[in-house]
Amino acid sequence: MAFELIFQPEAKEQLRDLEFHPDRQDLVRLRKVRKCLGLLEESPKHPSLRTHEFRSLQGLNGEKVWEAYVENNVSAAWRVFWHYGPGKGVITIIAITQHP
């Protein structure tokens, strides 16, 4: 089942910052973020995402928040934080940032 991704304002801004930042390292990270988002659209359970519940956060309406890996085995690895909903077949992206 394919999912539709919607972005909270903070996540939209974080993605925009990566898109318009001239740093070469951010361009590499942007490619990784886009790959992660594409895999989330296809299947949030894709093995390379290493998706798991992130219990330190909740969605605006108390939804379980999940974490997907953008990077691994690097210092300050980036993650995508998201939850299911608001409707069936929808994933809301909360943040695209370094692992806290």
Residue 22: its pLDDT value, please? 67
Are the CB atoms for 80 and 36 separated by under 8 Å?
yes
Domain positions in the chain: 4-98
CATH architecture of 4-98: 2-Layer Sandwich (3.30)
What is the average per-residue pLDDT within 70-93?
A: 91
Taking only the tens place, the pLDDT of each residue in 47-79 is 999 999 999 888 888 899 999 999 987 778 999
- Sign of the Cα pseudo-torsion (87, 48, 94, 52, in order): positive
Q: Which of 100, 60, 56 is nearest to 84 (CA)?
A: 60
For residue 52, what are the CA distances in angstroms to 13, 25, 77? Answer: 24, 26, 15
Share above pLDDT 90 across residues of the chain, in percent, rounded to a whole number: 63
Interval 1-45: pLDDT, tens = 789 999 999 999 999 988 887 677 778 889 999 999 999 999 999
